[in-house]
Structure 1
Amino acid sequence: MNSRERIITAKKSTTDYLKEIWGFKELFWILAKRDILVKYKQTVLGIGWSVIRPLVTMIVMAFAFGKIGKLDTNTAIPFTLVVAPGVIIWLFFSQSLQALSQSIVLNSNLVSKVYFPRLIIPLSTIFLGLVDVLISIILFFIICIWYQFLPDWKLLLVPLFILMTFLAAFGIGLISAVLNVKFRDIGQIIPFVIQFGYFISPVGYLTESVRSTGQPWFYKLFVLNPVTGCIDALRWCMLDDFAAFNWDSFVPLVIFIVVTFFYSIRFFRKHENSFVDHI
């Protein structure tokens, strides 16, 4: 009978830590699969909610910002297509951030009883939102067929910007997950931040409309929002020549991802050994 010895130390090098995560890759897939199954368990419509939610959101926002807000007067394509990338990004970002911030607390029983690299738990949440994203993109193609709109080759870059959206949520979500273990108020703050961020992100309107307000200082603050960069990038690759690539929002997005990604992992590793004490 083969046996394997595992030595657990308080401080590991980055290389050893990554090897340990790879050694627990089966647990990663188990947690991801469990989260997806739990999400749709005992629901009447099941995965149908992944169609209803983005579809209703697109229709409502297209009507609110397009018809009532009169933002569809200067668009060369149907305003529903303009709104769609914003809805796809926002639903994925908000869901990822919420899942990340609650990941350790919701798995407290597992954390307190079994040893494994705790980073696996927040990492596994990426698949929870990817199912909805995939369905939303299929829904976007159906809308394109309805309006006889044909995107170009830049659609191949969609997975890249979806990944960047998760990384943008990952840094804040990972720090929030650590703080939520010690201060459960974080679990109440995150939904408020998500609701507030909805209004300061170009989900139902173009970033260009903010630039045209004649307030340069507000535009400079607006493009610092990482969600703005994600939405602008996805619109660029989904809407053909309608939306130009916006470097003003993309550069801050890349800087935000790099800084928060490495800092959040360092912050997480510094505190992960104390999770059991607070749980």
Structure 2
Amino acid sequence: MNLSRLQELFQSRELLYFLTWRDVKIRYKQTLLGATWAVLQPLITMVVFTVFFGRLANIPTGGMPGPIFYYLALLPWTFFAAGITNAGNSLITNTDLLTKVYFPRAILPASTILAGLVDLAIASALMGVLLPWYGVTPDLEAFAWPLAILVLIILTLGAGMLIAAVNVMYRDVKYALPFVVQLLLFVSPVIYPTEKIPDGYRWLMLINPLSGIIETSRSAIVPGRAIDWQHFGISALIACVVFFVGSTYFYRVQRRFADLV
């Protein structure tokens, strides 16, 4: 993404704000609980994981309270899963905009991901209750949590732009995407800690950028767990590569979007 494209996006910032706010309002329009759903989804999933994987399956949590272990992983995971799904379908669901008026096409996947940040912020607020309840007091390493979220946003935006562009070209993507999202849940350390992965399979964790983001999210909040900066650095590098590849491909094929949708 070169300077001229960044300037174009900046000039269209009001449209980006409008579409982001539209996505937020549509998401909770005519719902009984409203924005509470942003908390309920990771919260209920946390309870299910704690009962079935923590207590029944006895999967270790690295010495952390089970609910904290799962919730700190579900926050970035839920944002990423929803982000690439919504961004991947953003061009298809906005056909009228694409065919009637010109604007920077990248605004569509970007707005859905920014709307997801609202959900992430609401869900993160629950940590203000969970952490004191389980006697967890973050230390100075908590500064790494915003860094992990920043890398998460870069990764989600890059992957979302790539999937959105490919989805316009090949409609098979909308059928394959839910399966890929489910698969990523099990190859990412959401249910288990990375230290329990056998040495022969550690490379799978290294090439999965979500693993470094999730583990850094846990280590930053829970004291006594050293942050693996090398692992996080690899995840950040891969996230930047994904963003570069995704944005480059998106801008390369965007001229064909109006004809294909």
The TM-score normalised by the length of structure 2 is: 0.94
Query: Partners of 1:69 and 1:224 in 2: how far apart?
Result: 27
Q: Residue deviations 1:35-92, cap 9 Å, x none?
A: 00000011111111112111111111112221112134862x4221111111111101
More displaced stretch, 51-60 vs 28-37: 51-60
1:99-154 deviation per Cα after TM superposition (whole angstroms, max 9, x unaligned): 11111111111011011111111111222221221122211220112122211122
The aligned residue for residue 48 of structure 1 is 36
Letter in 2 for 1:251: G
Instruction: Tell me which residue corresponds to 2:165.
Output: 178
CA RMSD of aligned residues (A): 1.7
Aligned to 2:212: 229
Offset at residue 17 of structure 1 (A): 2.2
* Number of residue pairs the alignment of both structures matches: 261
2: CA distance, partners of 1:246 / 1:120: 34
Q: 1:73 to 1:140 in 2, by over 3 A?
A: closer
Which of 220, 224, 234 is residue 252 of structure 1 equivalent to?
234
Task: Give 1:207-218 correspondences, 5 Å limit.
Answer: 207-210=194-197, 215-218=198-201
Give the greater-gyration-radius structure (CA): 1
1:197 to 162, 184, 197: 184
Q: Which among 23, 26, 29 is matched to residue 38 of structure 1?
A: 26
Is contact 1:111-1:276 (8 Å) kept?
yes
* Structure 2: gaps (5+ residues): none
Give the counterpart letter for 1:249 in structure 2: H
Counterpart Cα distance in 2 of 1:127 and 1:169: 10
More moved, 220-229 vs 37-46: 220-229
**Quick one: distance in 2 between partners of 1:74 and 1:39?**
36
Q: 5+ residue gaps in structure 1?
A: 1-12
The one-letter code matched in structure 1 to 2:257 is F
The answer as to whether partners of 2:169 and 2:260 remain within 8 angstroms in 1 is yes
**TM-score, normalization: structure 1?**
0.88
Code of the residue aligned with 1:221 in structure 2: it is L
For residues 253 and 222 of structure 1, what CA distance do their matches in structure 2 show?
9
Corresponding letter in the other structure for 1:103: S
Q: How does 1:154-173 map to 2 (within 5 A)?
A: 154-173=141-160
Rounded Cα–Cα distance in structure 2 between residues aligned with 1:73 and 1:265:
36
Is 1:180–1:187's contact at 8 Å kept on the other side of the alignment? yes
1:248 Cα deviation from its structure 2 partner:
5.2
Q: In structure 2, give the amino acid aligned to 1:114.
A: V
Given that 1:32 and 1:125 are in contact with CA atoms closer than 8 Å, whether structure 2 keeps it comes out as yes
Task: Output the CA distance in 2 between the equivalents of 1:193 and 1:151.
Answer: 34
Per-residue CA shift, 1:137-181, capped at 9, x if unaligned? 211220112122211122233222112112112222211101111
Matches within 5 A, 1:1-279: 14-72=2-60, 75=63, 77-210=64-197, 215-241=198-224, 243-247=225-229, 249-279=231-261
The one-letter code sitting in structure 1 at the alignment partner of 2:119 is D
Q: Secondary structure at the match of 1:128?
A: helix
Q: After superposing the two structures, state which structure 1 stretch, 49-58 or 244-253, moved more.
A: 244-253
Please tell me whether the aligned partners of residues 96 and 166 of structure 1 are also in contact (alpha carbons under 8 angstroms). no
Contact 1:152–1:240 (CA under 8 A) maintained in structure 2: yes
Aligned-pair CA distance for 1:240: 1.4
| Higher-helix-fraction structure | 2
Give yes or no for contact 1:105–1:181 (8 Å, CA) kept in 2.
yes
- Name the CA distance, whole Å, in 2 between partners of 1:146 and 1:20: 47
| Contact 1:122–1:174 (8 Å) recurs in 2 | yes
Residue 185 to residue 73, structure 1, CA distance change in 2 (3 Å): closer
